[in-house]
Structure 1
Amino acid sequence: MQSRIASILGLKYQPVVLLWSDDKPEQAVEFKPGRWGCVMFSFAAAAKGRQAVFARETYGCWGGGVGLGFGNRYLDFPGGEECFHYFLSCGNKHFEPGKSVAEHLKGPGMEEFCDDFLEGERYLKGPEEVRAFVKNLPIVDIPASYVVLKPLALVKEDEVPKTITFLVNPDQLSALVVLASYGRRTCDNVTMPFAAGCQTIGILSYAEGKRDEPRAVVGLTDISARKNVRKLLDHDLLSFSMPLNLFEEMENNVDESFLFRTTWKSMVG
C-alpha cells in the first residue's frame, strides 16, 4: 500500500498504519506482559520500518491501553481511576487514599512515577476536569486480540487499516490541513484535541471513522509522549492521523489540488 500524498510531501518517516488483528505478526516489537512502555516508542519504531504489536497484557501503560482500544484501563491504575484523576491533575499527596497507595509504589526505577503520582502531572487543573476528560473519551473495547502498527508499505491486500498517521513538520501539516478540506463544504475538518499521543492515533481516530465526514486528528501535542520520543524522532514533528475513509478521500483529491501549483512548489523548492 502506497501514499501519493506522503511521496509528494516528501515525508522523512514512513506513514504508520494501525490495524486490528486476531493474528500476531512475527518478529514484531512488543512490550513484555505487565511492563511499562509508551505506545509512542513503538509508533516511532513503525515509522522507521518495524512492526509493533499490542495485546491486552502488553499495551505498556494505562493510557496506552485506553488509546489502543482495550477498554477503560484507567480502572487498573494504582489506586483505581480516582487516583488517576489526581495523578493527571494536582497529585495524590493531599488525597488520603492516594497517599496510602503511594507508600507501596516506592522502589528502583519508580522515582519519577512516584513524584508524578504525588505531585501530579498537572495537565488538567483538578480531578473533576480529569473525570470529565475521561468521560468524554470514546473508550472502546475492540473486537480483536491485537493492535498492530506497521509502515504503510507493509500493509497486505487483505488487511484493513483503521488509521493512517503521517509524521509532519509545520509546512507539511499546513498542506494536509488544506487537503483535508479540499472536497468539503466545511472548514472544521481537522481537530487538535487534548489527549495522549496514542489516543490521537487510536480511539479518537476510530471515532472519526464513524462520522459521515470524518476529520483528521493532529497529535503529538502530548508533552509526555514528546518527551518519550524526542531521542527517536525529530523535534519539530506532529502526527496527523486519518481513518481509512478520510485517507482515501484525500488521496483521491491529490491530482487537481494545490499540490501541483506554484504556491506549494515554492514551499518545497
Structure 2
Amino acid sequence: MWDLLGGPMSFSPTVFSEVVRHRTTLMFVFLSLLVFFAADPSNARDYIPFWFSMIVWPLAFCLYLLAYEIELFFVAALTQLLPWLRVPTPLLSLIALTPTVYLCEKLVDQMSNGAFPEDILSRMVFYFLTVQGVETLFYRFIMPGVRQEIESRQQKRHLVVGGEKIELCKLLHIEAREHHVHLTFDDDKSLFRARLGDIVAQTKTEDGVQPHRSWWVARDPAIKTERRDGRLFLRLRDDTEVPVARTRVNDVLDWLETHINPLQ
C-alpha cells in the first residue's frame, strides 16, 4: 500500500491485527481518543448526556477499526489477483470512516431527541483530515517499532527436540524417518530421536505447515508449488521437494494463500 506521504508499505492483515493489540498501539489510541473527547470537535456534548459522550468515541473507533480490517482482508485477496495493485491508505480510511461517521451522527441525533444539528458532510471532511494526521503518525512512528518488536519476539521462539532447544526462526523443514527426525536449518542439519508429532505440537499455524505425515515445512516466502503426474509438491528455498498428501492438498493451499502469498 501507499501511506498519505506516498511511502510504500507491505504487511498482512494478521500482522496489522497483532500490531493493533500491542500495548504501545493501545496507549496511542487511548491518547488520541482522549484528545478527541476533550476537544469535542462536533460540539455534541451540548446536546447529549455526558456519559454517552464518553462512550461514543470508543464506539466510533471500534466501528472504524472493524471496517478497516475487513477492507484489509479484501485488499489482501485482491492483490493476489492483481499483484501490481497498490492501494493508498487514505482511500481505505475514507471508506471505513463514512459508515462510522454516519452511524455515530445518527446515534448522537437520537440521544439528543433531534436537537443535534445535522452537518455530516462538513464533519466528515474534518474527521477525514484529522484521521489522516493520526494515521500518518501511526504508520510512520508507531507501527514500525511495534512490528519490529513483535517479529523479534517471534524469532526468539524455540522448539524442544530430543531434549535440546532449537531456534524456530532458523529451521527450514523437518523430515521424519522411522524413529528419527532430520532437521534442516539455513546452514546446518541435525538428527534427533524424536516424534514429528511432538515437535509439530509446539508450533503455531503461522509457523509452518505439515503437508505430509512425514514432513513439516517452516513458513518461508520462497516456498513454491509444483504439480507433477497429478501430485502437488512444495519446492523449498534449499531446492528440497516435499510431497503434499492428497488428503491435505486443500489445507496446504489455504495455508499458503493465508501465510505465504501476502508476503510475496
Scaled by the length of structure 1, what TM-score is found?
A: 0.21
Q: Is the radius of gyration larger for structure 1 or structure 2?
A: 2
Higher RCO structure (Cα 8 Å, ≥6 apart): 1
Give the structure with the larger helix fraction: 2
Give the structure with the larger strand fraction: 2
